[in-house]
Amino acid sequence: MKRSAFAILILILAASLISCSGSTAPTATPTVSASIKADASATVAAEGTIVPMPRTTLAFKTSGRVVEILVHEGDAVKAGATLARLDDAAIQAQVTQAQAALTVAQKQLAQLKAGATSAERQSAKQALDSARATLAKVKAGSTVDQLAQLKANVDSAQASVSQAQAQYDRAGGASNPYMGMMPESVVLQQATNSLRAAQAAYRDATSHPTESEIKAAESAVAQAESAVARLDPTPETLALTEAQVAQAQAALDFAKTSLRDYVLVAPFDGTVATLDLNLGQVVSPGAPVISFGDLKNMRVETVDLVEVDVAKISVGQSAKIKIDAFPDKIFNGKVMQISQFATDRRGDKVFKVTLDIAETTSVALRWGMTANVEIAVK
């Protein structure tokens, strides 16, 4: 049997040699079918991960002690719901203080715009009239009639002293050992005191007004005039008060903004995936504490798509997706987004491509599952 097979093989080789030597037509070089080439380059394969869209990692913007945790892992919450809170007693006090300062500034501005009441205007005008009258009186000093009267008082007092002195002398004067007990001595003393008072009044009238008295009276007039001027605000005063209100409002807004840093809220409807928080814990600003995403809206993100392959991909291309957790099912997908920046992965430059997944209602996709995708690039 072996010899027969060997003989048959010799005959076939001989026939082939004869056929080649007798033919003058060129022989064609075997080529790979174009359809095979097309099939070989029709798809781009990559590994990926199941992720929710949108998703985010939440962190406090400030440091503080955790006083309240309102969610657990797996909780679904609505956008704006409070997830956790830090101790905010100090910043609450700042908000209260800023609110009070704003209220005061606003009332001052309202009063300034309203102007003074009629009673306030009348009182200010009377005070100004009185100050001006006092200044005029101080500047004028004593009148001629007043000086004459004061001089007459001095002369009259002097005459009384002379008369009392004469009576005193007739009674024995200082040589009389009993003079201190006699009425003539008392009368003389009283007359002398009256003379001194009249002389002092006359000297005072002739020595005024002094420079300091005039300045004091002028200062009183200036203060009264300023009070009248303040009854109606000037543009400068109004602008200054309005600026004070704006400053107080800005301080309140800043305090309220800072207060929001002590609370974590859900940025969109989603589910708490991981929770790295404990009551009483002191957190650092920017430290991730909650992973959050919309688990009802899953996508695939590639992790190893190299730069040679990403050049073949464009948004809208279809894909086939296999998920390791569901090996018997193939999902249809579509390219939704292509990253514009590369990242390093094991020495290669890779680009993230995000794909939508269709027909996922029958399976429970979970964040982090492994997937393999084949993107049609024809």
C-alpha gyration radius of the chain: 55
Position with higher pLDDT, 213 vs 44: 44
Range in 17-31, 84-98, 275-289 with the lowest mean pLDDT: 17-31
Domains of the chain (ranges; CATH) run 43-53+297-376 (2.40.30.170), 62-87+262-287 (2.40.50.100), 93-114+239-260 (no CATH), 118-238 (no CATH)
Task: Give the residues across from 43 on adjacent strands.
Answer: 376
Please state the rounded mean pLDDT for residues 325-346.
Answer: 91
Which pLDDT score, from 0 to 100, does residue 3 have?
Answer: 40
Q: What is the pLDDT of residue 262?
A: 96
What is residue 347's predicted lDDT score, i.e. its pLDDT?
A: 85
DSSP state at residue 297 = S
pLDDT score of 82:
96
Residues 97-108: pLDDT tens digits?
999 999 999 999
Cα dihedral 258, 264, 267, 269 in deg (nearest 10): -150
pLDDT value, residue 26: 42
Residue 101's pLDDT is 96
Q: Which residue has the tokens 């003989």?
A: 7
- pLDDT value of residue 263: 96
What is the average pLDDT across 187-199?
Answer: 90
- Confidence band, pLDDT 50/70/90 cuts, at residue 302: very high
Q: Supply 237's token pair.
A: 């005063």
**pTM for this prediction:** 0.55
The strand ranges marked E within the chain are 43-52, 55-59, 64-69, 76-77, 82-86, 263-265, 270-275, 282-283, 288-293, 298-302, 318-323, 326-338, 343-345, 348-350, 353-357, 370-376
Beta partners for residue 302, in sequence order: 48
To 10 degrees, the CA torsion angle through 141, 143, 149, 151?
Answer: 60
Q: Quick one: angle between helices 211-229 and 118-140, nearest 10?
A: 160
The values of phi and psi at residue 161, to 5°, are -65, -45
Higher-scoring residue by pLDDT: 207, 307: 307
Give 158-172 pLDDT, tens digit per residue.
999 999 888 888 888
- pLDDT, one tens digit per residue, over 223-252 is 998 888 778 888 888 899 999 999 999 999
Range name among 9-13, 174-178, 343-347 with the lowest pLDDT average: 9-13
Q: How confident is the model at residue 208 (pLDDT cuts 50, 70, 90)?
A: low
When comparing pLDDT for 191 and 203, which is higher? 191
What is the token pair recorded at 339? 């990253």
- State yes or no: pLDDT of 38 exceeds 50: no
Q: What residue has token string 């033919």?
A: 23
pLDDT of residue 40: 47
Which position has the higher pLDDT, 359 or 375? 375
% of the chain with per-residue pLDDT over 90 = 56
Q: Could you tell me what percent of the chain has a pLDDT over 70?
A: 89
Distance from C-alpha of 52 to C-alpha of 129, rounded to nearest angstrom:
81
Q: pLDDT value at position 25?
A: 40
Segment 31-54 mean pLDDT:
69
Joined together, the tokens standing for residue 48 give 């990926």
Structure tokens at 312: 């073949």
pLDDT above 70: residue 20:
no
- For residue 94, the tally of other CB atoms under 10 A from its CB is 17
What pLDDT score does 33 carry?
32
Asked if pLDDT for residue 39 goes beyond 60, the answer is no
